[in-house]
Amino acid sequence: MDNLSFEDGYSTTSITNSEIPTEDAITQTFSAIGNELGDLMLNTGLEPVLEQLSTRWTSQVHSLIGFHERRRDELARDIKTLVANQDGSEIQSNQLEERTTEVRAIDKIIETLEVIRDTMASNHHIMTGQPWRPHSGSKRSRHGATSAVLEARDYLDAAETAKAIQAAPSGTLVAVGGTANYDDIEQVYKTLDSAHAKYDDLKIITGGNNRGIDKIATAWANARRVDVIVQRPQFKKYGSKRAPFMRNEAVVAMKPKGVLVFLNPEDANGVAMNLLQKAEDAGITGKRIVQAAQ
C-alpha cells in the first residue's frame, strides 16, 4: 500500500472516477440508518445521548467535507501553476492530467458527502426536534458554488486550454469558422487558396460540422491535400450553451496564424463572432467574410 498516506486521520489514497451511487440511493440508505437509530434509542435509557450521538456523527461528515475541500483547493493551485508553466513536456502533461482527474473526482465525492450530511441533519431534526448545526464554520448549500469551487473550475478550463496548445501540430494553422448555413463555395475556395499560396505548410482548423462552412472547408482541404484539425465543441462536458464558446477558446489556444470567419447574414452569428473577438483579443489576425445576398 505504498500509495496510501494519512492526514488528520483521513486517507488520501489516489481517487479514481469510479461510479458513485445515485443521490436517491444515498438518501434512502442514510434515511434508513437514521430511522434504525431512532427506533433503537428512543424511549430507552439511551435516549438522553441520542442528540449528542447524532450531532457528533453528522459533524464528522461535515468535517470530512472540509478535508476534501482543502485537498481540492490544493490541487487547483497545482493546476494553476502547471498551466502557467506548461512547456508541452510529457511529465507536465501527465501531472496536469492526474491533478485534473483527481479534482473532478473529489468534486463528486464532496457533492455526495453533502447529500449524506444533509440527510443526516434532516434525520437529526426529526429524531430530536432540534436543528443540526456545525460546531464550526457554516453549512453551505450544495447548490451554491463557493469562490474556491469557481476558481477551481476556471483552472480546469485553463488546463483544457493547455492541452489544446500541446495538441497543436506543426505547420501554419488557420482557423476556419462561421455560420451553419453559409454556402458560397466559390468564396471559400478563393479565400483558402489565397492563404495556401502564402503558406505552403498550411493546416486548417474546423469545428467538424457536416454542413455550412466546416463542410465546405473540409472539401477544399481534401481537394488541396491540406491537413484538417477538427476541434469539436464538447457538449457532454460543457452543455449546449457553453460548449461552442469553450471550443472557441481551445481554438485560440492553439495559436493559429489567422482566423477566417464566414458569415451568412441570415444566420445567428454569436458563436462565430465570439471566435473572431477572442482571436483578436489574443493578437491573432481575424478576417470576416460575409456572403453576398442572393
Instruction: Give the pLDDT band of residue 166 (cuts 50, 70, 90).
Output: low
Higher-confidence residue of 211 and 8: namely 211
Find the mean pLDDT for residues 68-82.
Answer: 81
For the segment 238-273, what is each residue's pLDDT rounded down to a tens digit? 788 888 998 998 899 888 999 999 998 888 889 999
Bridge partners for 19 per DSSP? none
Please give the CATH topology (third level) of the domain spanning 168-290: Rossmann fold (3.40.50)
Bridge partners for 173 per DSSP? 203
Find the mean pLDDT for residues 182-186.
Answer: 92
50 grid coordinates = 441520542
For the segment 33-57, what is each residue's pLDDT rounded down to a tens digit? 988 998 999 889 998 899 889 999 9
What's residue 95's pLDDT? Answer: 76
d(CA 243, CA 58): 38
Beta strands in 147-194 (DSSP E): 172-178
d(CA 271, CA 274): 5
Mean pLDDT of the chain: 80
Of residues 100, 99, 224, 82, the one with CA closest to residue 165: 82
CB of 274 closer than 8 Å to CB of 248: yes
Domain range list for the chain: 6-165, 168-290
Q: 258-263 and 285-290 as β-strands: parallel, antiparallel, unpaired?
A: parallel
d(CA 267, CA 253): 26
Q: Find the range with the poorest average confidence among 12-16, 93-97, 127-131, 233-237.
A: 12-16
Q: What single letter denotes the amino acid at residue 261?
A: V
Instruction: Give the pLDDT band of residue 231 (cuts 50, 70, 90).
Output: confident
Instruction: Give the pLDDT band of residue 10 (cuts 50, 70, 90).
Output: very low
The pLDDT of residue 193 is above 80: yes
What's residue 69's pLDDT? Answer: 86
